Amino acid sequence: MQPRQRLLGGRQIYFGVDDSGRANIFRRSSQCACPESQRKSRRRRLGDPLDFMFAGGPIESRLPILLRTAKLASSVPPPGGGGFRNSHRQMNDVSSAPSESLTEFFPEDLLHVVRENQPLRETLWLGIGGPARFLAEPVEIDQIEKLYTAAREKQLALRVLGQGSNVLVREAGFDGLVIKLSAPATSGLEIQGQKLIAGAGAKLTHAVIKTVGEGLGGLEHLVGIPGSIGAAVVGNVSAEGRDIGSVVESIEIIDEEGKRKTLTGEEAGFAHRQSTLMGTVVLSVTFNLEPKDVSALTKRMQKLWIHRGQRRPSESNRIAMPFIDPDSISACELINSTGLAGIREGDVSLDSAAPHYLIAHENATSDQCVKLIGRVREQVLMQTGIDLQLNLQIW
């Protein structure tokens, strides 16, 4: 158990479990009862029991200190600022018991995969936004089914989060349930003959690399495009004149009743940069690929990877591609032709060299992002008559 740090009377103290398995308080040890040769290596491991000195007695005898510490800690705002009701309960409850809010919305067998008032910005490419009221990280597919059912019964808004490359969250946060697909059960990649079975949470580029290494063609033109398999299929991502839907054989989803269902590629309704899967929870996708020469596939993949890497802004990692390329012209060319490259709104801008990228500078806000996107869409529509559609999902 990683000790939880708090300040008490100017000293750092920690909640943790001692060697007997009982919850206790620890404080930073000024001395280490070990040879000098061992001190430095042990000090590097924060949370090692040998780095702390027991502050005295079982937890029952330290109740006054615990109460004062909890009171002090409750004055500290949660990560991300703001939040929803019961936001401090889970953080400061020494017993780590589920909050009333969690038990109100989710059955007991899901409480260990759901957390309350969790920051999202660390998982998003833009690094902007407030917390999710509930964040779930299921490790089994059946848990996703149960989460979907619970959200529907309690009328909770539901979103699925993959790699976070095309998501913008408002500073107020998302008042609902976010399911993050990061566990092996939802991000695996398996080759069966000339088919790839990919979890919805798997990275698109990882799928490309695996299939190229197996001598299977059909996805290599998508290398370097950020995002997860699920998001790529829902948005029918395309490059080099070919979309991902053209090699999709089937998609496993959660249907409206909360049950698993398999759709064919035809039933997904793939069209230019869209499908009928929007709002659907995708679990996995099966691709039907074509055997090809590994060396030829590798050379093509590397060439495209280098080309896309050179076009990506180098000054910041906090980027996103807010617009979908129209049929006849790329968003980059369209924005350049209207003189909007490098346009700025507060601490948000379009890259001057690759204006199809939005850059979130330090202190950028979601409002600034939305305003900039609106300005660009308005000017492009006025000058060209083309209504740029959003690739960025705004929660």
Catalytic residue set: 273
Q: Which helix (H) or strand (E) holds 334?
A: helix 331-337
Q: Which helix (H) or strand (E) holds 92?
A: helix 89-92
Pairing assessment for the beta strands 248-254 and 260-264 based on DSSP bridges: antiparallel
Which residues lie closer than 8 Å to 192 by C-beta, 6 or more apart?
none
Q: Which helix (H) or strand (E) holds 320?
A: strand 319-320
151 three-class SS: helix
Residue 219 near residue 244 (C-beta atoms within 8 A):
yes
* Residue 287 φ/ψ region, left for φ over 0, alpha for ψ in the -120 to 50 degree band, beta for the rest: beta
Which residues lie closer than 8 Å to 2 by C-beta, 6 or more apart?
16, 47
Q: What's the Cα-to-Cα distance from 275 to each of 139, 179, 263, 280, 385, rounded to whole Å?
A: 27, 21, 12, 10, 24
State which amino acid sits at residue 264. Answer: T
63 three-class SS: helix
Q: Which residue matches tokens 């280098």?
A: 306
Residues in the chain: 395
Q: Which helix (H) or strand (E) holds 248?
A: strand 248-254
* Rounded CA separation 263/345 (Å): 42
393 three-class SS: strand
Residue 116 near residue 90 (C-beta atoms within 8 A):
yes
Q: How far separated are the first and last CA of the chain, in Å rounded?
A: 34
Task: Give the up-direction half-sphere exposure of residue 39: CA atoms within 13 A in the CB hemisphere.
Answer: 8
383 three-class SS: helix
Q: What's the Cα-to-Cα distance from 16 to each of 31, 44, 77, rounded to whole Å?
A: 19, 18, 22
